[in-house]
Amino acid sequence: MSKILIVEDDQAIAEIERDYLAVNGFEVDIAEDGDKGYEMSMSGEYDLILLDLMLPGMDGFTLCQKCRESLDIPILMVTARQEDVDKIRGLGLGADDYIEKPFSPSVLVARVKANLKQYERLTGKDGHQSRIDVGDISIDTSSHRVTVKGKEIRLKNKEYELLLFMVYHMDQVFDKETLYENVWGMDAMGDNATVAVHINRLRTKIEDDPAHPRHIQTVWGAGYRFSK
Rounded average pLDDT over 53-64: 91
Residue 193 pLDDT grade (very low, low, confident, very high; cuts 50, 70, 90): confident
What is the per-residue pLDDT for 189? 53
What is the per-residue pLDDT for 89? 76
What is the value of pTM for the model shown? 0.63
Query: What percentage of the chain carries pLDDT values higher than 90?
Result: 44
At 145, which CATH number?
1.10.10.10
Give the residue among 13, 115, 109 at the shortest CA–CA distance from 55: 13
pLDDT digit string, tens, across residues 64-99: 999 988 888 999 988 876 666 767 777 777 888 888
Residue 36 has pLDDT above 90, yes or no: yes
Residue 16 has pLDDT above 70, yes or no: yes
Asked if 114 and 41 sit in the same domain, the reply is yes
Q: Which among 87, 122, 157 is the end of a domain?
A: 122
Asked if 190 and 79 sit in the same domain, the reply is no
Rounded average pLDDT over 8-13: 92
Q: Where are the beta strands (DSSP E) in 137-190?
A: 137-140, 145-148, 151-153
Domains in the chain: how many in total?
2
Domain of 205 in residue numbering reads as: 131-226
Burial-class residue 24 by CB neighbours within 10 Å (0-12, 13-18, 19+): middle
Asked if 135 and 116 sit in the same domain, the reply is no
Rounded average pLDDT over 29-38: 95
Contacts (Cβ under 8 Å, ≥6 apart) of 86: 53, 79
Contacts (Cβ under 8 Å, ≥6 apart) of 155: 146, 163, 202, 205
pLDDT digit string, tens, across residues 136-190: 899 887 777 899 998 999 998 889 989 988 988 888 899 888 888 888 876 545 4
Asked if 110 and 144 sit in the same domain, the reply is no
Query: How much is the mean pLDDT over the chain?
Result: 86
Higher pLDDT, 4 or 120: 4
Q: Say how far apart CA 94 and CA 75 lie, in whole Å.
A: 8
